[in-house]
Structure 1
Amino acid sequence: MPARRPATPALPAPALPALGGRKPNFRERVVDVLRAALITGELRPGQVYSAPALAPRLGVSATPVREAMLELAKEGLVDIVPNKGFRVTALSEKQLDEYAHVRSLIEIPTTVGLAATADAADLEALRPVALEIVTSAAKGDLIAYVEADLRFHLGLLALAGNDHLVEVVGDLRRRARLYGLTALSQAGRLEASAQEHLELLDALLARDEEAVREVMNRHLGHVRGLWAAREEH
């Protein structure tokens, strides 16, 4: 007899503090939470979700959820289904492999280059975000994990001073699917993976380019396994 699937946990209410001293934008927070739910697979490909049904899970009204889903539709992450809601866009393995490949071509050399150019204070400023990733992993809070992971890597890449590069990688990361995060968390292995962010910072601060390259190769090498994992496997 197949094991029963655990009940779907409530999505966290969008009430996180502003990033970088910026005043919180409520709609943006709802977008961020829903996007993270798409990435982790809490909102499943091919499924149709309505704003009124999702709203209680976030503890908000249907209006900001509807507005957020319309924003995600513009990004191609969901499709509008008239009179029903929004269908989560399914991505092929080929698409996801291509995203991961492009990311590796951009992120690895850029991050390695930061070992020689990044200011130590700027790198240290990312440590609280890296610790937030570890804390989220320890708690099994996958949505917070994905959000913090995105902020960490985009913040790191921003130190290279190329805004377009950050935009491209941000788009690729937001389109990712990391269905294997749940299994990794349940197996107690997500926290070890999260520690790689601290390891990366330490290698950058030590100006050790080879160590940075090794950590980044290992870290991005996990991506395919994470998105490829499915509950039914």
Structure 2
Amino acid sequence: MEQAGPRSAHGSAGAGVPDIRTGAVRVPAQPRAADVDRERGVTGRAAGAAAASRPAASAASAGSGGPVGTGTGTAAGAAARGEHTHSETPIPRPPAEGARPVVQRASVRGQILDALRTALVEGELAPGEVYSAPALGERFGVSATPVREAMQQLALEGAVEVVPNRGFRVVERGTRELAELAEIRSLIEVPVMLRLARTVAATRWAELRPLAEATVRAASSGCRATYAESDRAFHRAVLALAGNAQLVRIADDLHRRAQWPLVGGPASRGRADLVADAAEHTTLLDALIAEDLTVVQSLVREHFTGA
């Protein structure tokens, strides 16, 4: 598994979202008022009333030298929810070339959840660090609400844990947990694959070859998040041949957990390691087509351990 890179030192406040490479680490806490209005469905007269109520808060902010006010769209509102963004490790923005697109308003929560899962795999969300919904919302250009909902889903999955009065901490995992996940996956998937090797026709296995080849292309790109998704897609397709939806769901959850970053684990896997890992998929297909149960069992166990 990849290990997150070094964490940046805390620095002084800056405008907008800080770049971890610049040393600026202070993040504005509240979303734009227009975003808050849109989320609440404030239109027409309601929007006018909301706009009329903002000058007073703006004047108070100007007088105090910082954001003040009440409600969910202000720093005070964020503090009331227990989210403080000062002294927080920033999330680096992707480089301009090849950057991920800014999320759209439709299905914001789902897009944010996917983006956070990618950030976990890439190590942008460092194990042990605490992140607030307002800071992450600023990072992705959305309000705190969809970020908070996505982080709560990650908490249910075990990727993060809620920290009262602060936000969400990325769970710290070691090599022992990774080994335990590999053991559980092996206990579940090896017997299933051995049974499928005896019962599934060679033509059905051949239909999965495009997915195996997709993992090789993803590995060749060097993007860990892209490879992680294609890797899980291949394993889901193999297990789906068993006709057990619950098995696929549980195995996929274990697989996803095995892809999260480690603390004190091995060095990050490079492109060559990913390509070698992906090549095992095509080798496994060949063994399944040939009904070589000994090779299938060996490959699956080694594949889990290497993952």
TM-score, structure 1 normalization: 0.74
Question: Are 1:166 and 2:248 an aligned pair?
Answer: yes
* Equivalence for 1:209: 293
Question: Are 1:139 and 2:139 an aligned pair?
Answer: no
Q: How far apart, CA to CA, are the structure 1 residues paired with 2:247 and 2:266?
A: 26
Q: How far apart, CA to CA, are the structure 1 residues paired with 2:146 and 2:239?
A: 30
Please state whether the residue corresponding to 1:65 is helix, strand or coil.
Answer: helix
Q: How far apart, CA to CA, are the structure 2 residues paired with 1:53 and 1:182?
A: 29
Read off the aligned partner of 1:202 and give its amino acid letter.
Answer: D
Please state whether the residue corresponding to 1:86 is helix, strand or coil.
Answer: strand
CA gap of 1:195–1:14, structure 2 versus 1, over 3 A, is: farther
Residue in structure 2 matching 1:175, options 257, 263, 284 = 257
Q: How far apart, CA to CA, are the structure 1 residues paired with 2:204 and 2:102?
A: 27
Q: How far apart, CA to CA, are the structure 1 residues paired with 2:248 and 2:180?
A: 18
Please state whether the residue corresponding to 1:90 is helix, strand or coil.
Answer: coil
Deviation at 1:14, TM superposition (A): 8.6
Please state whether the residue corresponding to 2:269 is helix, strand or coil.
Answer: helix
* Equivalence for 2:150: 68
Q: How far apart, CA to CA, are the structure 2 residues paired with 1:77 and 1:212?
A: 31
Deviation at 1:167, TM superposition (A): 2.3
Read off the aligned partner of 1:81 and give its amino acid letter.
Answer: V
- Contact 1:142 / 1:182 at 8 angstroms: preserved in 2? no
- Contact 2:219 / 2:278 at 8 angstroms: preserved in 1? yes
Read off the aligned partner of 1:128 and give its amino acid letter.
Answer: P
More helix per residue: 1
Question: Are 1:184 and 2:294 an aligned pair?
Answer: no
Deviates more, 1:123-132 or 1:201-210: 123-132
Read off the aligned partner of 2:237 and give its amino acid letter.
Answer: G
Q: How many residues align?
A: 210
Q: How far apart, CA to CA, are the structure 2 residues paired with 1:221 and 1:72?
A: 24
Read off the aligned partner of 1:61 and give its amino acid letter.
Answer: V
* Equivalence for 2:186: 104
Please show how residues 49-88 of structure 1 align to structure 2 within 5 Å: 49-55=131-137, 61-62=142-143, 63-82=145-164, 84-88=166-170
* Equivalence for 1:199: 283
Q: How far apart, CA to CA, are the structure 2 residues paired with 1:14 and 1:140?
A: 22
CA gap of 1:65–1:133, structure 2 versus 1, over 3 A, is: farther
Structure 1: runs of 5+ lacking an equivalent: 16-23, 224-233
Aligned residues: CA RMSD: 3.1
Q: How high is the sequence identity, in percent, across the aligned residues?
A: 43
**Which of these two proteins has the greater Rg computed from alpha carbons?**
2
Please show how residues 8-157 of structure 1 align to structure 2 within 5 Å: 10=94, 12-13=100-101, 27-55=109-137, 61-62=142-143, 63-82=145-164, 84-157=166-239
Q: How far apart, CA to CA, are the structure 1 residues paired with 2:226 and 2:111?
A: 12
TM-score, structure 2 normalization: 0.58
Deviates more, 1:137-146 or 1:25-34: 25-34
CA gap of 1:91–1:178, structure 2 versus 1, over 3 A, is: closer
Structure 2: runs of 5+ lacking an equivalent: 7-19, 22-91
Deviates more, 1:100-109 or 1:45-54: 45-54
